[in-house]
């Protein structure tokens, strides 16, 4: 992603684990340079990604994060995602320790009925 205000490379986010026949996908692998934290860039990007996914036949957008990544979990909750649960000890980290993964999601009807407008109001 490029921040249009500064014309600087800001970070990345993407769809993955796309399941067209199930109308589900996962949004993640998101990171931003520290100077872009708290600028609203993530909310803007997530708005566009949700609008694209839900406007193109997807019914569910899922997120997964390490439970210790409090910034990411807070960001997902602030845009309206619902916490679904925690997968315990499901991934081995690079240092060999095991992580717990929190799963959050947003559904198309939630987006269309109120979360789109709520996120627009934050932009």
Burial 35-70 (b: 16+ CB within 10 A, else e): ebeeeebbbbbbbebbeebbeeebebbbbbbeeeee
pLDDT at 74: 93
Q: Pick 37 or 108 by higher pLDDT.
A: 108
Tens of pLDDT along 63-122?
999 999 999 999 999 999 999 999 999 999 999 999 999 999 999 999 999 999 999 998
pLDDT at 11: 96
The Cα 26–Cα 76 span in angstroms is 13
The Cα 74–Cα 78 span in angstroms is 6
Average pLDDT of the residues in 30-37 = 93
Tens of pLDDT along 55-64?
999 999 999 9
Assign 25 a pLDDT band (cuts: 50, 70, 90): very high
- In the block, residue with structure tokens 């979990």: 73
pLDDT at 57: 97
Q: Extract the tokens encoding 122.
A: 């934050």
Q: What is the pTM of this model?
A: 0.90
Assign 4 a pLDDT band (cuts: 50, 70, 90): confident
């Amino acid at each position: 992603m490029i921040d249009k205000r500064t014309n600087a490379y800001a970070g990345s986010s993407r769809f993955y684990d796309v399941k067209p026949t199930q109308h589900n996908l996962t949004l993640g692998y998101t990171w931003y340079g520290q100077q872009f934290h708290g600028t609203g860039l993530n909310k803007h990007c997530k708005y566009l990604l949700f609008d694209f996914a839900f406007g193109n036949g997807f019914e569910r957008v899922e997120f997964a994060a390490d439970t210790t990544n409090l910034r990411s979990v807070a960001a997902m909750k602030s845009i309206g995602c619902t916490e679904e649960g925690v997968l315990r000890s499901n991934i081995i980290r690079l240092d060999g320790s095991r992580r717990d993964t929190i799963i959050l999601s947003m559904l198309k009807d939630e987006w269309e009925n109120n979360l789109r407008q709520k996120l627009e109001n934050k932009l």
